[in-house]
């Protein structure tokens, strides 16, 4: 069993490298699962790979994110839909107000 494992590791490393190269060169698209493994292997966070345009250092946003993460999946959907609706209404109000 140990022999099988020791020969499998270099093969997996090669496949991992080849997959990364294919993704970099646009020959292959990645799945969420593959991307998750790549991020984990690189020892980085998804935020490092895909930085947000919104400053996440804001204490209020961090507090909201903590509450959001504490919600169940179903409650997260409700919360996101509610925020989306509210944001649309606020933007429409702002646009109507600035048009006058």
**Contact (Cβ atoms closer than 8 angstroms) between residue 19 and residue 28:** yes
Instruction: State residue 82's pLDDT score.
Output: 96
- Look up residue 42 and give its two tokens: 């690189």
Here the tokens at position 41 are: 């292997």
Q: Is the pLDDT of residue 75 over 90?
A: yes
- pLDDT of residue 54 exceeding 90, the answer is no
Per-residue pLDDT reduced to its tens digit, 24-43: 888 888 888 888 887 888 77
Query: Is residue 61 pLDDT above 70, yes or no?
Result: yes
**What DSSP character marks residue 51?**
-
pLDDT at residue 1, rounded to an integer: 46
Residue with tokens 């994110």: 65
Q: What are the extents of the domains in the chain?
A: 1-51, 53-100
């Amino acid at each position: 069993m140990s022999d099988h494992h020791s020969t499998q590791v270099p093969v997996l490393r090669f496949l991992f490298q080849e997959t990364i190269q294919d993704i970099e060169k646009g020959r292959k698209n990645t799945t969420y699962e593959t991307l998750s493994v790549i991020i984990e292997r690189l020892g980085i966070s998804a935020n490092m790979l895909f930085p947000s345009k919104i400053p996440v250092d804001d204490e209020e946003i961090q507090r909201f994110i903590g509450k959001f993460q504490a919600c169940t999946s179903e409650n997260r959907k409700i919360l996101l839909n509610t925020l989306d609706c509210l944001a649309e209404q606020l933007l429409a109000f702002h646009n109507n107000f600035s048009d006058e």
